[in-house]
Amino acid sequence: NAGVTQTPKFQVLKTGQSMTLQCAQDMNHNSMYWYRQDPGMGLRLIYYSASEGTTDKGEVPNGYNVSRLNKREFSLRLESAAPSQTSVYFCASAPKGFSYEQYFGPGTRLTVT
């Protein structure tokens, strides 16, 4: 049981390049989330998927797109990377129901030059 996995762990992009961050969970969770973490800002929600086939914007969605490929996988895409998107990105998942906490992946450190 690997929990929540994210690839890659590190990535350097040039401004304008595109890339997709991958996230997968093997806990049969319904909900999945993407956060970004910046120094002094805590974690902020980018997008989330309450269930397979649905996605919704979070607090800071601009410049990102997501795909809930199936119940296991939830990807985050940067179409044209900008230096402001330099951050650490976390994926999380949670079972259905309000009594459960979110389980986090190990994070992806992205640098945009």
Contact footprint for another protein (CB under 8 A): 31, 33, 40-45, 48, 50, 56, 58, 88, 90, 92, 94, 98-99, 101-102, 104, 106-107
Closest distance to another protein from the beta carbon of 112 (Å): 19
Residues whose CB is less than 8 angstroms from the CB of residue 86 and which lie 6 or more positions away in sequence, other chains included? 110, 111, 112
Amino acid at 7: T
Closest distance to another protein from the beta carbon of 16 (Å): 27
- The residue among 19 and 50 lying less far from another protein, judged by its C-beta, is 50
Closest distance to another protein from the beta carbon of 48 (Å): 6
CA distance 8 to 51: 24
- The residue among 19 and 45 lying less far from another protein, judged by its C-beta, is 45
Q: Which of 90, 102, 108 is nearest to 29 (CA)?
A: 102
CA distance 106 to 19: 18
